[in-house]
Amino acid sequence: MKEKNFYTLGIETSCDETAAAILRGDRELLSNIVYSQAEIHKKYGGVVPEVASRDHLRKIQFVINEALTEAGVHLPELDLIGVTQGPGLVGCLLVGLSTAKGISFGLEKPLIGVNHLEGHLFAHYIESGLEAPPPFVALIVSGGHTSLVHVREWGHYEVIGETRDDAAGEAFDKVGKLIGLGYPAGIEVDRLSKQGNRSAIAFPRPMLDEPGFDFSFAGLKTAILYHMREHPETSQADLAASFQEAVVDVLVEKTLRAADDLKIGRIVVVGGVAANSRLRERFQSSDSGVGVDVHFPSLNLCTDNAAMIAAVAHFHYASNPAHVLNGLQDLSPSSSLRL
């Protein structure tokens, strides 16, 4: 493979971001365009799948064109197309998949369906270079998932813990909504927490004292609801900060425990919630404390993007040609694809 000028187009439409990116070689990012539908879903207080898929259809071509233009790459120069196959909203995934199939068919270029969760892991791959390779323990914390993964090497993953109910991002969004913040509430909770007292309310730390690496966040939401009923005078900022501290405590503690158990000295935190400033601060301060080195992708690679999708596609293309399809082959959306 002529690494230098090998161009991969990544396409991501699994939820409410329409995204396209161009990668040169295995991880040189030439463009990374993300169009967020957040404004559209704001008035509904969450993502409406039907509305999301229609808007993907409206935007996808513009987003791809912008990615090509910014990269200075012409459509026929593409060598590979990678597209999110799942997990995600089926109608949304279909838009990305159909577009990718059309491009692959028209250009007669290979196509690879990508697992969105492996995508989040590859945000680290893009940025780490040779500096922080596997093995490591990955904490994937997004709107739809919370998993602890033993990454033995790129392409080989063992999920060692998962949430039993709500994902961490989902908890941020639901609690944010409960205390009166707009959608998407995760980032608002993060902002507001800076003005609050994180020890104001001692919310539970769910599953922290139980063995294993599973999580549960649904009960925390109920605890906050009860607290608000009993103490309506509590400020939004104190609620936000105390809730955030409870989630961060559990995530940090369980991840450090997993690294210790597996005798692995490196932790990588990815997914939308990895953008949380308190989570970053707490992990980074644990860094020196217990001798583990902790990595986070840059903020724009934590939340959904297509650069990570392109990187996974390139990796599988280079390491296992059996993954490669063409635009005529079956590539269906899989809403509950697992790592």
What 3-state class would DSSP assign to 276? coil
Contacted entry of ligand KG4, Zn ion, none for residue 184, CB cut-off 5 to 8 Å set by kind: ligand KG4
Question: How far, in Å, CA of 67 to CA of 71, rounded?
Answer: 6
Pattern 280-319, binding to ligand KG4, x per CB under 6 A? Answer: -----------------------xx---------------
Helices 218-230 and 236-262, packing angle to 10 deg: 150
> Is 88 or 327 the residue whose CB approaches ligand KG4 more closely?
88
Q: How far is the CB of 199 from ligand KG4 (least distance, A)?
A: 19
Contacted entry of Zn ion, ligand KG4, none for residue 275, CB cut-off 5 to 8 Å set by kind: ligand KG4
Both tokens of 40, joined, read 């559209």
Amino acid at site 252: V
Residues that bind ligand KG4 (rule: CB under 6 A) add up to a total of 19
The only residue of 10, 113, 144, 327 in contact with ligand KG4, by rule CB under 6 A? 144
The only residue of 176, 177, 304, 337 in contact with Zn ion, by rule CB under 5 A? 304
The only residue of 73, 149, 275, 311 in contact with ligand KG4, by rule CB under 6 A? 275
> Is 14 or 128 the residue whose CB approaches ligand KG4 more closely?
14
Residues 6 or more apart from 275 whose CB is under 8 A from it? 187, 190, 299, 302, 303
Question: How far, in Å, CA of 281 to CA of 324, rounded?
Answer: 40
Strand ranges of the sheet holding 146-153, from the earlier edge strand across to the other edge = 156-162, 146-153, 136-141, 266-270, 293-295
Question: How far, in Å, CA of 286 to CA of 234, rounded?
Answer: 30
The only residue of 184, 297, 327, 333 in contact with ligand KG4, by rule CB under 6 A? 184
239 binds ligand KG4 (CB under 6 A): no
Question: How far, in Å, CA of 62 to CA of 72, rounded?
Answer: 15
Q: How far is the CB of 98 from Zn ion (least distance, A)?
A: 20
173 binds ligand KG4 (CB under 6 A): yes
16 binds Zn ion (CB under 5 A): no
What 3-state class would DSSP assign to 268? strand
Half-sphere exposure of 212 (CA within 13 A, CB side): 13
> Is 186 or 327 the residue whose CB approaches ligand KG4 more closely?
186
Q: Which residues of 221-232 are buried (b: 16+ CB within 10 A; e: fewer)?
A: bebbeebbeeee
> Is 172 or 217 the residue whose CB approaches ligand KG4 more closely?
172
15 binds ligand KG4 (CB under 6 A): yes
For the chain, how are helix, strand and coil distributed in percent, rounded to 5?
Answer: 50, 20, 30
The only residue of 32, 142, 146, 242 in contact with Zn ion, by rule CB under 5 A? 142
> Is 173 or 245 the residue whose CB approaches ligand KG4 more closely?
173
Contacts with ligand KG4 by CB under 6 A lie at 15, 142-144, 169-170, 172-173, 184, 186-187, 190, 271-273, 275-276, 303-304
